[in-house]
Structure 1
């Protein structure tokens, strides 16, 4: 007879509400978010901010399998105008294709995703922004589902999806062909898979506890599909931007800590030995080997082509297949080393650069688009404005800063795993930039925060859950909490609606544009 252990409900709390509603309600929120992202997606009909790099690289990947040099090799108004006019003759003319190989600073997966939209819908603003809008919309659904799983509440899950849908920075990057929205998407998917794996592993432990003979360390859990999926997603994040590695390392540690906690909560006499013997080897495979394979596979076009940067195809093919593999890998590693050196020395001044400690306060957003030649007739007379400002919804971000402080106190007092997970996700995406700001003086921007926005929303939702109270709390207590949470959601909605014209390039008067600039630092030039 077992005289140790804990009830299964402590390992797997019951979900509130039915499974059907748990899908239909988040889907409805995601559709709302999708409408915001897809309506007028082709506006502005221009190459905005750094789209000039990624749009052309993505098209080159679709056509050539590798990034080829375009006219000017950088932001080139002539090439940009050709794109908008539908003229795709934007590549340099070279005697040998390898002479036009382009050095690129980021892995190719995000550009492959942009290129998929260009292949489906053509080389036009809607086509090159389609994948970003899709990733942004799906991230609303994923966050709603993962928040539901963490809180066991469909209502709180939908609140999470709604808040993400109403964030200004998330909206802008969902409507722009930059890489950061894809980084956020894969990081969020990886985290969601780990949360699902946490439930999956605990169900297996509970099933063993209820039926199998007693052991001191617990059982082997076998193949864990959700953790493998998490490794693949986090590998995809690294294959979009190298900064995905911060999340990969943090979540790998988080996963094994959850395994240790599950075996300890079950009452096993030697939980740590069980986790280290049975869980750690599989975790290493899922969170090291799988991401490495995904990252390497994202370079398949480079490996298969003779035209990529530093490919050395002639040398690689000179001495048989074994030497081909060895020399190709050597050239590839050398290329990655060059990319690392490029990022370490990236100190160019940009008028909208900012420091990471200023990001949560939205002190210096990024102007993605602001034409200066709009005719007065565009807005009915007078000076007109048409802006895309990469800025978060202030009501959401400032409340999230307070919620994160609240989570620190909650985690210190209770060691609640949900508070710890949200804090770790935020820290993994924000704190590393402090090192680069101090040690490298690197050029950085507010939109580098987009991968942590879902964790800011999770912080808000977890605090909202505390405000609502437990299901068995007195009705007046629940009603008061619901009023506070509902009022906050309404404030975020109104704030987002007010900013919407300057997030989506609506043509408005200069006075209307200026009224939406919360601080002078949103529009004035940064000091050199």
Structure 2
């Protein structure tokens, strides 16, 4: 590996540039609203106009970021999706940072980040105006900040820890499903605290900052709603509004074509067609599917990490396995009447981390297997690219060539 790539900043910048170019290429196709964009783009327009509440089942920040894109680039496909590409790039670079901070080596950090970049879920959600991409970006960046704090002491550690808490609060301000990660961060701090880690940070004070700052950051994102022309929020109605959001989150909804149970998501049994219709002069499709190499290979990696932790008490392996397991367990506990494959988005990101850690733990036995794995993942990305990117297809039935399972159709 060239010397300049062994330093953490240069690969991070190259990854960021590569990811942003990949996500932004042909971003304005399709030119129509896709899947849940029909909910979030109108809500972003309403927020930009400060007209009144819209899409009240979710907090404001994700819709505010879509609104920022509209304000910068106009009310069209570029404006709707521009900020989503930045969120996807943050996920890729943040994954690299997590692995570099956790393992101290560039190679596994690059392997994990490239697995995430080549995972179809990240690509598709980086090119659509939905909330999950923003939520994931803040969770990944917040996790990286908290690990960065682990390497510091005194004021630097506190500043990085506080930044991580802010980012986790902002993640929750996109979607509530990020809230458990604040608790995960606190538990990880208590479990991993050793001499030389988070030096000078007392547990009670650290947990108080984590909880207090994340809640404050979350609350401040509601500030635009205080200026609505119709039904503005007030300090008196801010907390009752949270109860209203909760009621909407747990309401019983009618059956949906693409609904699926949480236990099916790791197996990719029911992906989602975000688009499949003639648009912009051609038959086009967007399938939210994970890269089979990453999604299924990642499950093997989680098991390998769990076994490595049981045998050697490897902290990195234990954390990689626990992170994915906990991310899926959230959905087993959440009282929602319907589930969808895109809820698995954060878990699919953590699979990239598990793969990198597994190859690192087993690198003496699996020398160069990581390179072959990345070649496989890249090959599958190229193969599936037409139905991930809304590229023109030859005919309405063209999608069949990519349907490995009947349930994907």
Q: Which TM bucket (shorter chain)?
A: over 0.9
Partner of 2:254: 348
Matches within 5 A, 1:413-424: 413-424=311-322
TM-score (structure 2 length as normaliser): 0.93
Quote the offset at 1:373 in angstroms.
Answer: 7.5
Partner SS for 1:442: coil
Question: Do the aligned residues in 1 keep the contact of 2:317 with 2:358 (CA within 8 Å)?
Answer: no
Work out which of the residue numbers 378, 381, 389 in structure 2 matches 1:504. Answer: 389
Q: For the residues of structure 1 that align with 2:343 and 2:229, how far apart are their CA atoms?
A: 33
Work out which of the residue numbers 245, 262, 268 in structure 1 matches 2:195. Answer: 262
1:253 aligns with 2:190: no
Question: Do the aligned residues in 1 keep the contact of 2:43 with 2:55 (CA within 8 Å)?
Answer: no
Partner SS for 2:202: helix
Partner of 1:243: 177
1:392 aligns with 2:290: yes
Q: For the residues of structure 2 that align with 1:284 and 1:308, how far apart are their CA atoms?
A: 36
Partner of 1:153: 105
When residues 281 and 411 of structure 1 are mapped into structure 2, their CA distance, relative to the original with a 3 A threshold, is: same
Partner SS for 2:179: helix
Work out which of the residue numbers 494, 507, 512 in structure 1 matches 2:379. Answer: 494
Question: Do the aligned residues in 1 keep the contact of 2:118 with 2:291 (CA within 8 Å)?
Answer: yes
Quote the offset at 1:303 in angstroms.
Answer: 2.3
1:366 aligns with 2:272: yes
1:432 aligns with 2:330: yes
CA deviation vs aligned residue, 1:341-394 (integer Å, no higher than 9, x gap): 11111432110011110001111011101115787xx4xxxxxx4100111111
Matches within 5 A, 1:6-405: 21-64=7-50, 68=52, 101-102=53-54, 104-201=56-153, 224-259=158-193, 261-262=194-195, 279-305=202-228, 307-308=230-231, 311=233, 328-371=234-277, 378=282, 385-405=283-303
- 123-132 or 296-305: bigger deviation: 296-305
Q: For the residues of structure 1 that align with 2:280 and 2:235, how far apart are their CA atoms?
A: 51
Q: Which runs of 5+ in 2 are unaligned?
A: none
CA deviation vs aligned residue, 1:23-61 (integer Å, no higher than 9, x gap): 112221222222210000001111000101111111221
Quote the offset at 1:223 in angstroms.
Answer: 6.2
Question: Do the aligned residues in 2 keep the contact of 1:247 with 1:425 (CA within 8 Å)?
Answer: no
Partner SS for 1:508: coil
Quote the offset at 1:417 in angstroms.
Answer: 2.0
Question: Do the aligned residues in 1 keep the contact of 2:151 with 2:157 (CA within 8 Å)?
Answer: no
Structure ID, larger Rg: 1
Q: For the residues of structure 2 that align with 1:452 and 1:17, how far apart are their CA atoms?
A: 33
Q: For the residues of structure 2 that align with 1:48 and 1:103, how far apart are their CA atoms?
A: 17
Work out which of the residue numbers 304, 313, 336 in structure 2 matches 1:406. Answer: 304
Q: For the residues of structure 2 that align with 1:229 and 1:424, how far apart are their CA atoms?
A: 23
- 126-135 or 150-159: bigger deviation: 150-159
Question: Do the aligned residues in 2 keep the contact of 1:356 with 1:434 (CA within 8 Å)?
Answer: yes
Q: Which runs of 5+ in 1 are unaligned?
A: 1-15, 69-100, 205-220, 267-273, 312-327, 379-384, 470-476, 524-528
Partner SS for 1:491: helix
CA deviation vs aligned residue, 1:481-509 (integer Å, no higher than 9, x gap): 11x21111100000111111000111112
Q: For the residues of structure 2 that align with 1:441 and 1:21, how far apart are their CA atoms?
A: 44
Q: For the residues of structure 2 that align with 1:239 and 1:513, how far apart are their CA atoms?
A: 37
Q: For the residues of structure 2 that align with 1:373 and 1:182, how far apart are their CA atoms?
A: 27
Q: For the residues of structure 2 that align with 1:330 and 1:424, how far apart are their CA atoms?
A: 39
Partner of 1:474: none
Partner of 1:210: none
Partner of 1:516: 402
* Runs of 4+ deviating beyond 6 Å: 16-20
